[in-house]
Amino acid sequence: MNWFIFTLLSTVIYGLINFMYKVAAIHKLSSHQILNRSATAVSVSSFVLILITQSEFSDVKQILFFAAINSTFFALGTISKISSLKNIPSSFAFPITKLNAAFLLIYALILFNEQPTIKQWLGITISFSILAYISVNINQEKVEQVDRKKQIIGVSLALLAAFSTSISMLTGKFASTEVPKLNYIFISYTCLLYTSPSPRDRTRSRMPSSA
């Protein structure tokens, strides 16, 4: 499969994940618990694949370095996104969280000196135009029903989620060329288990509660 198929597949998967985040927000579920269970699933899956492929833990220090950054910002981004959805409508929150694409574009231009082609610029312009259109044409009745303070909190959390997610993805970009991918994923999501409470630890949390 070429890069386009992988990109399309990841878009569909992220759409399903965002849908589950919205369901979790509607039911007022703990963002820490959602993060914990997601991290457990990915950690176990990646460990099984490591055993099957016999991927070696080479350059452990570098893996830990990338994993620490990724797990921190992924956790922050996930918790912020779910918390944002608890404060403002998804039609308002998701276009804002999608601004992570804007941050990534800036990183690519500055850090990797990438020069998009005219067709790529056209695609980028169309994508951001769609996001802008969605943001402008949000159902105002739904937004007006939300308390002003909750709107500010929700928008701030959505922006934080966009920034945090972009840093997590940028870290993955560097890690993909420097360390074994499966090992990096395994360590990253295992680290997440130490930043969210275990299923039996509902009263004590090692991170500030956002639920």
> What is the chain's length?
211
Tokens linked to 57: 């833990």
d(CA 96, CA 195): 25
d(CA 205, CA 156): 23
**Mapping DSSP to helix (H, G, I), strand (E, B) and coil, where does residue 84 land?**
helix
Q: Residue 142 is inside which H or E element, if any? A: helix 140-144
pLDDT in tens, 48-79: 999 999 888 888 899 999 999 999 999 999 99
The upper half-sphere exposure of residue 106, i.e. CA atoms within 13 Å in the direction of its Cβ, equals 8
DSSP annotation of 138 reads S
d(CA 22, CA 17): 9
Nearest to 210 by CA among 112, 93, 84, 91: 84
Nearest to 186 by CA among 66, 72, 77, 44: 44
**What is the pLDDT at residue 13?**
86
> The pTM is what?
0.76
pLDDT in tens, 26-55: 888 888 888 888 889 999 999 999 999 988
**Mapping DSSP to helix (H, G, I), strand (E, B) and coil, where does residue 7 land?**
helix
Q: Which residue has the tokens 């980028």?
A: 124
Q: Which residue has the tokens 């956002």?
A: 210
Structural contact between residues 168 and 103, judged by C-beta atoms closer than 8 angstroms: no
The answer to whether residue 140 scores a pLDDT higher than 60 is no
**Mapping DSSP to helix (H, G, I), strand (E, B) and coil, where does residue 2 land?**
coil
